[in-house]
Amino acid sequence: MSKIEIPIYDPRPEIAALRSEIDAAIRRVVDSGRFILGPEVEAFEREVAEYLGVRHAIGLNSGTDALVIGLRALGVGPGDEVITTPFTFFATAEAISLVGAKPVFVDVDPRTFNIDPALIPAALTERTKAIVPVHLYGQAADMDPILEIARQYGLKVLEDTAQAFGGEYKGKKLGTIGDAGAFSFFPTKNLGGFGDGGLLATNDDGVAEMARMLRTHGAKKKYRNEILGYNSRLDTLQAAVLRVKLRHIDAFNEARRALAHAYTAQLAELEGVTPLYEAPYGTHVYHQYTVRIADGRRDEVAAGLAERGIGAMIYYPTPVHRLPIYNEPAGCCPLAEAAAEEVLSLPIGPFLDLSTQARILKALLQR
């Protein structure tokens, strides 16, 4: 097998560009001797809240914990049903199951692969408690109709914003539109740390208070545990690194957008390769640049790229409803199932240069 010379995402150029700032931030934490919560995490939370335009930002251990804690803070629990998409990373549905609720999968819009709001009403029951839309690949789900359904039926909305930090919907930052937004700082994300990390954003004081309790073993004050919670605190070193990267996130996202648009322009006339639609209602931040490969040739194309040293990934090869843990019948979400057979994500990142992109495009043309 050929060595992958162009990975789907390479964090090293970004780290090199910010090295002096990152090194200073890490030294600051080491010199402080404060490694759990403390002023560094508090400063990051304030800065993120200001960036997003929300009242509260609660740093957590991971994006998965942000979903779990977000659901619990919104009152979702055993016996409830939660509407979500089957075309997402497993953690979206896993979090619903972990709080004792049942994920109810609604098929996707074939242009964006985000949840199709028009299909949500048919999936509602008297047990439906919440909707978890996912802003897939960095592009906003169509939130207005989702919020209208939630308002009409008295449902909570938790945005899964793991792939879309800095993205917008009609001028509003993603993760701030529903009742709460869950973020991931996994190293490959647009705003990525040096390990796991997550955050819950909300304008609801009660949700924020509950989330802060849940992240520290269910206690408002140390040794005064009131409910069963978790050990889910954002690591202080991660917060310091993320504070550095937050200052550059808009420029990095804009670089991703420029590369994505260059891909799309070059691929527009290529038969059998269809870029995903960029909806006009939002600002796509391209965590992934994903195309559809027609005629059952996706795996062949991916193998051909790998032979030429180019990494590509399939997000996702199996829709969540078809995973062994849920094992729902084939055909219940046909568009998500079709997407899983055709999607391929190409290398992208804020420091991917045009000459490297040209090499990727040349390899794709030679597929």
Question: Is residue 367 pLDDT above 70, yes or no?
Answer: no
CATH architecture of the domain with residue range 249-365: Alpha-Beta Complex (3.90)
- Domain edges within the chain: 12-246, 249-365
Question: Is residue 257 pLDDT above 90, yes or no?
Answer: yes
Q: What is the pLDDT of residue 305?
A: 95
Q: What is the pLDDT of residue 365?
A: 81
Rounded percentage of the chain residues whose pLDDT exceeds 90: 96
Answer whether 5's CB lies under 8 Å from 310's CB.
yes
Q: What is the pLDDT of residue 269?
A: 78
Q: What is the pLDDT of residue 216?
A: 97
Residue 201 has φ and ψ, to the nearest 5°, of: -115, 140
CATH architecture of the domain with residue range 12-246: 3-Layer(aba) Sandwich (3.40)
Q: What is the pLDDT of residue 270?
A: 85
- pLDDT tens-digit map of 105-154: 999 999 999 999 999 999 999 999 999 999 999 999 999 999 999 999 99
Task: Cite the beta strand spans of the chain per DSSP E.
Answer: 56-60, 81-84, 102-105, 128-132, 156-160, 168-169, 172-173, 180-184, 198-202, 273-275, 282-283, 289-293, 343-346
Per DSSP, the three-state class of 363 is helix
State pTM to two decimals: 0.97
Query: Among all chains, which residue has been given the structure tokens 């990934």?
Result: 313
Q: DSSP for 158-194? A: EEE-TT-TT-EETTEETTSSSSEEEEE--TTSSS--S
The two three-digit tokens of residue 81, written as one number: 């049903």
Mean pLDDT, the chain, integer: 96
Instruction: Considering only residues 283 and 354, tell me which one the structure prediction assigns the higher pLDDT.
Output: 283
Question: Is residue 2 pLDDT above 70, yes or no?
Answer: no
- pLDDT tens-digit map of 274-294: 999 999 999 999 999 999 999
Question: Is residue 1 pLDDT above 70, yes or no?
Answer: no
Q: Averaged over 43-59, what is the pLDDT?
A: 98
Q: What is the pLDDT of residue 366?
A: 75
- pLDDT tens-digit map of 198-217: 999 999 999 999 999 999 99
Answer whether 233's CB lies under 8 Å from 213's CB.
no
Question: Is residue 61 pLDDT above 60, yes or no?
Answer: yes
d(CA 70, CA 246) in angstroms, rounded, equals: 22
Q: What is the pLDDT of residue 268?
A: 84
Q: Averaged over 307-336, what is the pLDDT?
A: 96
Q: Averaged over 64-79, what is the pLDDT?
A: 98
